[in-house]
Structure 1
């Protein structure tokens, strides 16, 4: 761009910097301006924020370029065309020039466009929030957005925020959304505070409690105009839209502020859904027929941006919009109290209707829908709870629903986020019963178990179990749910005798309450067989698993998910007993069924492929075993993380396969890393650590025990 500035005779250029408030448009224009002036270009700067300021500035440009003061006065009072006078003298300028038209957020200040012309003598640079205005459709437009994380940290360092490591500054930059104005305000505040210094962590805590107010406080007292205050900067755009006859944009922005800064599918705002809300009676009203105009208005002011979210395999892209987190926080804080309840209610109604639209009994939400709407459900719950809104119970219900649906998809990270949010919010929701509060804590404990955080999970499960025993009795089905889930957590800790004790109680209680063929009883029986087997009582485990499989097949059919779980347990017991061909047949048929119903990367699919890799190792089919193990390891690293106990166990299995195949270099390198991780994550005495240490010794001892057995367990499946 700088090559075009100050190059007389070159093709006339018009540049437009556009972006949301505080994105650095003016600051970048100032840098270009200063650089051009340093090169000998005449710099001309005009405030285009209002028609009065713009006309006065342009007439001052004419004077600067040699116009007679009497001509300028005549133009000022309307006795001659002002735009013609200005451009006549710009064209006649003996020196090249750069004309910056700053803050041109309302294109009507340029009339019908007669003020915007191009000249071979200079360059026009416009800064605006209105990136789609027809007047500059043919200009060279540059969109300014948030900074990258590294650049954001550089901004903080440039503002003298010192004494902190890279990680601390990255946390601060991320919390500010890498927004240029927010970074400048925060950096100036932290870097120049003389009395009562505030640390980054203290500032982050204040930011969490009051984002807009904290950043407003950071503004320099001499610069606290509306364009420097985070809480007010976007209100300018909303006021401009109101002045242009689009007041409903304000109400739509209030609605959007109830959601997260993540991509929001525009289907949520479909006209048929909006008619279900009471937004047409808000103040200002948002009639359904005006929603599209309101959205286009927000986009024209760079308050929201459109994008296409890539669809899952075989599915189309999803049209969506998104806005910056600070913008949403600022707008949410400025919703009038008499409008807030209605806006929150509308936000909850829209999300709830979309999630349940066309829902059929027995079906579950797809992974794409869960991924797209989970952050918005969490944001809505936070907003409603913080406002003590009557909408909070409905928002909590949405979060619980998405929590359960995410569990079906095997998205354990989202399950935990939603479960944790429910536990934090539910005590403050007046409609929540004691049983619901316990249910929320139970689900949180289950999510921790899924994430491999077994100690935390077992502690919460014990608390919930004791409460349910006192409230419901020892043999209530919910009490037995807690007994079963506690056993699962104990299994993860390698406490198999305690696990067996819990699972026996769960099986006996569920048989009495539900019957031997009930799905919950089948799952508890499968888990009990695993607990027995881990204590080297494989014949007993095999007999129990075989009976359980027969019961499930008779009651639920051969392809029921409960039958598949029972079949997997039997295959595992047969593998441990050395009956590899029979184990492989059962594992292979289970894997095919799981892949068909759940997909290749679902945790319940991976657990079967994990077993199959072990069986193939026992059969010394090294290449097939390695391929199966690596596919499971890759999927677990991506979904569960490198340090999840299931990932560590799979890595140990791969080490044993590589050692058996004679690939000692790869086995040894992996063994060193995995043993350190097992000790760090599981502890020295965990059974899986012992197995990993043995695999490490085998790899470095250049020996491989010629057997198929392993003392490490597999993922225990939980039916909740």
Structure 2
């Protein structure tokens, strides 16, 4: 039986492709779908064995990607994911609310398990109270975090940043950001484990729905809002009804100050403006609203103020009352009118002082999201000067902003200061809200909105969604883009949608897939008001399809891409001015977010247009010119067709994917020519599908043609050429032509190491695949050592749960199992399988491959009955997903026969070995090593009717 056990464990060692590969999406940062000739929709490589080694789930570098600028110390570019959770700067000393501060600090010391809410109308100082509580708590060694709760995406982003900054496993954060696990569950479970006291402030939570639709159910809360457990959760909100939250809360109403407290606030700010009684009279006139008191006191204390006393300020309010009241359309008219008049008088004073630009600048800044930091970089002086009436020269912008800061209408948020200028500005939400209301009925509305839009257009166009260094600024622009977009008339909407599309691409590339989806769905809702489809709407629909596909929601992605294709056909190019509009550079997503793009730039290869000894006679120097003939919408439609085919591939509809790619290739060949990038890309993708279907002879021919075409068009050293050669080697390996495969891949690895470096993602993919060839040639120890090195590098650079790392971890476990080190292999493989289920689903081919290996290890360790049951179930699942004659299905059937033999059922084992031998001979050829393995096992057992035990 020893000989038979060997056949059971190693039989089918040279089986065919077992997995589609985890990376169905293309490499992040590709400049167009046509660049897929340098990428692999399925995994790079082709080896799978009885133990189901999986290909390298990764793609080679895309061309024309700029290098990434990294800090001088070599540290990676900061992630887009983290956000500042610091307490904001205070606008003025807190007056009259010390009792609330004391109550809340008492709860911080001894949490009562309830959510605490500071509630009241705008301008009452809720944020100031919360900030004071946070500062005093931080001084007593309490961990404090501050998150704006202005919208759902910001809440999600902030809470995940909290988890990231307090030590949660980065792999779990990655899963939560990409929507594969519940981020809310992850964060609140983590907060419950913290021993040190903590305080979390969610500021400006004026809409309970931002915490998720399921928030308002159950006493413990759901969604992103939960009972705090071991810490204190403090909200500031205009919602005064405690039942609005749907879970136990302790509401702390924030009312106007008393006249005495209001007078004290004024005197603290402007001690020389009058007597206490005069301060009391002014405070009463202002409704004792803290925001109005702050603006008035700051005005009175400003140098050169035209009005310099409490009585004079009160008279000025009376003079302007009717005008301001007519302009106010917000609720709470009396209280808010008092507040409005305070900043109208401040603006009047600035105009008198020779700073009229302050008023248009406040209108402009109020167009952006209130209570949300406005980056200094957004307020580009040249753009404002060109588009905003009242700004004559760029220097007016700096002068006007400084004046607004001086009178307290704008605050400088926390940040690094350079040349005495803060990193961000903050406009109080009530100031922004009422200024927008005034602007709505003003002749200045159109020019101001156009200026805000021009700023966002310039800011987003200066950023590249593919660059990790640009992800943080794109993320910070998200609320401002959405705020401005909501105000735009229809004729300006397409320009706003273009800015939102760029933000969404950046979020998606950074791994914030649910947030990107939210932005795109919001955009598409607004786009319904357009009279006809616009190119930017097509791009948004296309991007939504990408984002859904990256989240594994393939049927939804398919529907979105079909809508994009319909809209692309109905969209006319904007060619009235003779210009052409090319589609956005296709930013193709990995699931989950990886650092591959960052690595692409950190380890960017030398230019591939340098001639070398490796270039064949058909190569040519110089970068390839990737022309896009035809109208722009036809190119975009072609990209959508590529993606639709990729979705079919992801769904396991190989026949449909083959038909789709063949149709795309024929269309591209007729429209653009045989060697156009689109045509080559379609041929490469078609070869990938053929390989997945088990049509290896056809796949080998297609990959060989693509390799030759790329070498002639781009040069022998170009990433496209190397990728095509890599995949050609993979098919040669499956066909049993191991010497040819090893020779081809060794040469590819040599060139990639020289040009890209030993740790570049593409080089690691080549090393991964070469280890598989060594294993097939019987050099298991050598394969184990190389896979161990690849796993170590991929863990360090990409993370433990990146698809490429999982592929190498799986293969390493499989090789160790074949070498008899089953305990070591079995220790990691269940974790790999769990990650694969999270990543791709229970029935994805890669998950099925991991199940095959787990069953193999059970069989090798003597758990034959468990292994037999597992192989039977897996055989049925693989047949359903891949087809009954797919090489991976036959691999599992071979192992099923081995399990039958181990349990003593020789008759069924022999019959199964014979059936698998016949199928493998038919599919792979009678001389293929896999067919030879099954045939040898059957011959060793003899005819099933012969009950004689072989020697």
Q: What TM-score bracket applies, with the shorter chain setting the length?
A: 0.5 to 0.7
d(CA) in 2 for partners of 1:251 and 1:290? 12
Structure 1 match to 2:705: 547
d(CA) in 1 for partners of 2:367 and 2:733? 53
Structure 1 match to 2:50: none
**Structure 2 gaps, min length 5:** 1-86, 107-123, 133-141, 148-157, 160-197, 206-215, 259-286, 292-330, 573-629, 775-779, 863-885, 890-951
Does residue 268 in structure 1 map to residue 423 in structure 2?
no
Per-residue Cα deviation, 1:683-709 (whole angstroms, up to 9, x for no partner):
5443223212112223444579xxxx9
Q: 1:386 to 1:698 in 2, by over 3 A?
A: farther
Instruction: Report the CA distance between 1:531 and its aligned residue.
Output: 0.5
Structure 2 match to 1:433: 533
CA contact (8 A) 1:419 1:440 kept: yes
d(CA) in 2 for partners of 1:372 and 1:401? 12
1:305 alignment partner, one of 413, 416, 423: 413
Aligned alpha-carbon RMSD (Å) = 5.7
Instruction: Report the CA distance between 1:395 and its aligned residue.
Output: 1.4
SS in 1 for 2:495: helix
CA contact (8 A) 1:381 1:392 kept: no
Structure 2 match to 1:449: 549
2:400 alignment partner, one of 270, 280, 291: 291
d(CA) in 1 for partners of 2:227 and 2:748? 49
Does residue 394 in structure 1 map to residue 495 in structure 2?
yes
2:457 alignment partner, one of 344, 347, 352: 352
Does residue 615 in structure 1 map to residue 753 in structure 2?
no
SS in 2 for 1:170: coil
Q: 1:593 to 1:152 in 2, by over 3 A?
A: same
Q: 1:169 to 1:529 in 2, by over 3 A?
A: closer
Q: 1:564 to 1:321 in 2, by over 3 A?
A: farther
d(CA) in 1 for partners of 2:411 and 2:234? 13
SS in 2 for 1:304: strand
Q: Mapping of 1:27-42 within 5 angstroms?
A: 27-28=97-98, 31=101
Structure 2 match to 1:694: 852
Per-residue Cα deviation, 1:208-260 (whole angstroms, up to 9, x for no partner):
xxxxxxx99x8779999634999969869856854874775564454334445
Give the alignment's TM-score, normalised by structure 2. Answer: 0.46
d(CA) in 1 for partners of 2:366 and 2:475? 15
> Could you say which structure has the greater relative contact order, defined with CA pairs below 8 angstroms and 6 or more residues apart?
2
Does residue 628 in structure 1 map to residue 728 in structure 2?
no
CA contact (8 A) 1:403 1:415 kept: yes
Instruction: Report the CA distance between 1:552 and its aligned residue.
Output: 1.9
CA contact (8 A) 1:548 1:566 kept: yes
Per-residue Cα deviation, 1:85-111 (whole angstroms, up to 9, x for no partner):
xxxxxxxxxxxxxxxxx99x9xxxxxx
Q: 1:465 to 1:351 in 2, by over 3 A?
A: closer
CA contact (8 A) 1:490 1:498 kept: yes
CA contact (8 A) 1:238 1:249 kept: no
Q: 1:236 to 1:637 in 2, by over 3 A?
A: farther
Structure 1 match to 2:199: 151
d(CA) in 2 for partners of 1:523 and 1:698? 37
d(CA) in 2 for partners of 1:545 and 1:325? 60
Q: Mapping of 1:278-427 within 5 angstroms?
A: 278-280=388-390, 287-294=396-403, 296-297=405-406, 303-308=411-416, 320-321=423-424, 323=426, 330=433, 333-334=436-437, 336-337=439-440, 338=442, 339-356=444-461, 366-376=467-477, 379-388=480-489, 390-401=491-502, 419-427=520-528
d(CA) in 1 for partners of 2:356 and 2:660? 62
SS in 2 for 1:517: coil
d(CA) in 1 for partners of 2:555 and 2:755? 29
Q: 1:536 to 1:321 in 2, by over 3 A?
A: same
Give the alignment's TM-score, normalised by structure 1. Answer: 0.59
The more displaced of 666-675 and 587-596 is 587-596
Structure 1 match to 2:907: none
SS in 2 for 1:276: helix
Q: 1:275 to 1:239 in 2, by over 3 A?
A: same
Q: 1:588 to 1:152 in 2, by over 3 A?
A: same
Per-residue Cα deviation, 1:172-208 (whole angstroms, up to 9, x for no partner):
99xxxx87532xx54x5225xxxxxx4549x9xxxxx
CA contact (8 A) 1:614 1:625 kept: no
Q: 1:128 to 1:443 in 2, by over 3 A?
A: closer
Structure 1 match to 2:236: 181
CA contact (8 A) 2:477 2:503 kept: no
Q: Mapping of 1:219-234 within 5 angstroms?
A: 226-227=289-290
Instruction: Report the CA distance between 1:564 and its aligned residue.
Output: 4.7
d(CA) in 1 for partners of 2:428 and 2:227? 14
Structure 1 match to 2:686: 528
Q: 1:525 to 1:407 in 2, by over 3 A?
A: farther
Q: 1:648 to 1:33 in 2, by over 3 A?
A: closer
Q: Mapping of 1:449-528 within 5 angstroms?
A: 449-465=549-565, 479-528=637-686
Structure 2 match to 1:256: 365
Q: 1:286 to 1:272 in 2, by over 3 A?
A: closer
Instruction: Report the CA distance between 1:18 and its aligned residue.
Output: 8.9
**Structure 1 gaps, min length 5:** 1-16, 37-101, 106-125, 131-141, 192-197, 204-214, 311-317, 713-720
The more displaced of 648-657 and 542-551 is 648-657
Q: How many residues align?
A: 541
Q: 1:254 to 1:470 in 2, by over 3 A?
A: closer
Instruction: Report the CA distance between 1:519 and its aligned residue.
Output: 0.8
Name whichever structure is richer in helix by fraction.
Answer: 1
d(CA) in 2 for partners of 1:658 and 1:329? 63
Instruction: Report the CA distance between 1:582 and its aligned residue.
Output: 3.1
d(CA) in 2 for partners of 1:488 and 1:495? 10
CA contact (8 A) 1:557 1:563 kept: yes
d(CA) in 2 for partners of 1:471 and 1:288? 39
Q: 1:450 to 1:506 in 2, by over 3 A?
A: same
Instruction: Report the CA distance between 1:488 and its aligned residue.
Output: 0.9
Q: 1:467 to 1:272 in 2, by over 3 A?
A: closer
Instruction: Report the CA distance between 1:487 and its aligned residue.
Output: 1.6
SS in 1 for 2:470: helix
Does residue 581 in structure 1 map to residue 689 in structure 2?
no
CA contact (8 A) 2:545 2:557 kept: yes
